[in-house]
Amino acid sequence: MPKKSKEGITFKKEENFSEWYSEVVQKAELADLRYDVKGFLVFQPWAVLSMEKMFYYLEKVLQEKGHNPYWFPTLIPEKNLKKESSHIGGFTPEVFWVTSHGKDEPIEEKLALRPTSETGFYHMFSYWIRSYKDLPFKTYQRANVFRYETKATRPFLRSREFQWIEAHCAHESEEKAMLQVREDMKTTKEVLHDIFGLPFIFFERPSWDKFPGALRTFAADVLNPDGKVVQQPSTHLLKQEFAKAFDVKFKDKDGTDKYAFITCYGPAVSRIFASVVIVHGDDKGLKFPWEIAPVQVVIVPIDTENEKIKKTAKNLKEQIEKFASIKIDDSEKRPGEKFNYWEMKGVPIRIDIGEKDLKNKKLTLFRRDLDKKIVVNESKVLNEIKKIAEETTENLRKKADKLFNNRIRDAKNISEIKKVINDGGIARISFCSVEKQGEKCAEAIEKQANAQVRGTRFEEKSEVSEKCIVCGTKANHVVYIARAY
């Protein structure tokens, strides 16, 4: 049946990951790449509905932890962007510039499309923060940001415009700023792991791989089936140069003026969505965790003309929509096509209503988390749906955690690193230094194993064996090696 296979997903996730991903993005209608500006795309409803739910959970947790929401202008004046030299050094190559308006008339000053908004927020922090009583000053915004990427773009993973949340906070001391960094990591766990079901490790990046302007950078790495890691939220303790450049200071309890310690945290919702697609999906297509499924339950009437079936579908919908998002598929397609379609779309629960089942007061449920059909009594269907709703995310998360943990392996030398990496894993090694002097060893690994030092695991209590497996000098850290995009 060539037609059928054309409609569904044809590539295998484990064998042809890259093609599988492209096919899922296209066939599940997540993004359309035919918008005719290089590196930009249109996010389609099935993705937007899920990403809106992701924003909801992220913003809810941030607000509960005392962050206040702002909307900053998209445009940042060049003079502000240039105030902190290491920051602008890192971002200048990626900036889009607005230079004119109307009929090519020059604007008052050159304006950047924000690649990130430190230089917007901290300019305003200097007005808003006066005293130690104003601290911690915790903010965030939901925003679209722009980066003139020169690497190949991939839908949701890397494009020239993407959707994110950026949280910016000012603190009175470095210790308090580090508590914020910990809080950001906890937030990431509570939302990305516990609700979206994504396993990751938070690494402190080595000194040569920090955010432009950061003193310390922490970033969560998620692992793809092709063995490459995707960087998810990162949180940074910025150098005080930022506070100095933007004059963010406060009068302390002792009456002296001090510069604030600033942290920033950036969960990129469109990229997190990519990881949800990739980590939970299978050869049939998407699998959504319950909380962020665009539609949670779909009803497929086996015969769309049968009045009794139609009535049952309508009644069920009315009861279910009180606690879940639900849709009846009364399109002209054949039932089999509908089954395949909604499985590909990753809807957690499908209810099939057929005449024979109805006679026996039964309904057939298909749960996508376990790819399992169950027949339940009509009277028990609501309870069963509520039960599946509670289990779906946990099932997906547990499966993902297991897979992830199995792919982290110790390596004792570079050829073992190569083996772990080529098996699609993350290698754990003893390493000399994550400061400048360790960069040579990192380069050796990069050259020989085509993989990078992702950093040290935050607060990992582990035995460091005596020697760096690359240079043989004293090892100070356990670091993790992985291949990135």
The binding site for a second copy (CB under 8 A) comprises 32, 34-38, 40-45, 48-49, 51-52, 68-77, 80, 92-104, 107-109, 111, 113, 120, 123-124, 127-128, 144, 146, 148, 161, 163
Cα angle: 153, vertex 157, 162; to 5 degrees: 85
Q: Look up residue 291 and give its DSSP letter.
A: G
Burial 438-473 (b: 16+ CB within 10 A, else e): bbebbeebeeebebbbbbbbeeeeeeeeeebbbbee
Q: How far is CA 237 from CA 57, 217, 325, 355, in A?
A: 24, 7, 40, 62
Q: How far is the CB of 118 from a second copy (least distance, A)?
A: 14
How far is the C-alpha of 12 from the C-alpha of 22, rounded, in Å? 12
Q: Which is nearer to a second copy, 157 or 185 (CB)?
A: 157
Q: What is the CA radius of gyration of the chain?
A: 25
Q: How far is the CB of 384 from a second copy (least distance, A)?
A: 27
Q: How far is the CB of 101 from a second copy (least distance, A)?
A: 4
Q: How far is the CB of 452 from a second copy (least distance, A)?
A: 25
Q: Which is nearer to a second copy, 110 or 182 (CB)?
A: 110
Q: Which residues contact 189 (CB under 8 A, 6 or more apart)?
A: none
Q: Which is nearer to a second copy, 11 or 96 (CB)?
A: 96
Q: Which is nearer to a second copy, 124 or 471 (CB)?
A: 124
User: Which H or E run includes 405?
Assistant: helix 381-406
DSSP result, 201-262: EEEEPPGGG--TTEEEEEEEEEE-TTSEEEEEEEEEEE-HHHHHHTT-EEE-TTS-EEEPEE
| Both tokens assigned to 317 | 């919908």
Q: Which residues contact 448 (CB under 8 A, 6 or more apart)?
A: 414, 417, 418
Q: How far is the CB of 152 from a second copy (least distance, A)?
A: 15
Q: Which residues contact 3 (CB under 8 A, 6 or more apart)?
A: none
SS3 call for 361:
coil
How far is the C-alpha of 444 from the C-alpha of 442, rounded, in Å? 5
Q: Which is nearer to a second copy, 272 or 453 (CB)?
A: 272
Residue matched to tokens 């249109």: 42
Q: Which is nearer to a second copy, 94 or 394 (CB)?
A: 94
DSSP result, 146-194: E----SPPBTTTB-SEEEEEEEEEEESSHHHHHHHHHHHHHHHIIIIIT
Q: How far is the CB of 94 from a second copy (least distance, A)?
A: 7
Q: How far is the CB of 110 from a second copy (least distance, A)?
A: 9
SS3 call for 134:
helix
| Both tokens assigned to 165 | 């949340």
Q: How far is the CB of 132 from a second copy (least distance, A)?
A: 13
Q: Which is nearer to a second copy, 20 or 246 (CB)?
A: 246
Q: How far is the CB of 124 from a second copy (least distance, A)?
A: 6
Q: How far is the CB of 38 from a second copy (least distance, A)?
A: 6
Q: How far is the CB of 14 from a second copy (least distance, A)?
A: 31
Q: Which residues contact 381 (CB under 8 A, 6 or more apart)?
A: 316, 351, 363, 365
Q: How far is the CB of 140 from a second copy (least distance, A)?
A: 10
Burial 366-404 (b: 16+ CB within 10 A, else e): bbbbeeeeeebebeebbebbeebbeebbebbbebbeeeb
Dihedrals phi, psi of 167, to nearest 5 degrees: -105, 130
Q: Which is nearer to a second copy, 39 or 424 (CB)?
A: 39
Q: Which is nearer to a second copy, 169 or 185 (CB)?
A: 169
Q: Which is nearer to a second copy, 102 or 361 (CB)?
A: 102
Q: Which is nearer to a second copy, 51 or 223 (CB)?
A: 51
SS3 call for 142:
strand
Q: Which is nearer to a second copy, 218 or 246 (CB)?
A: 246
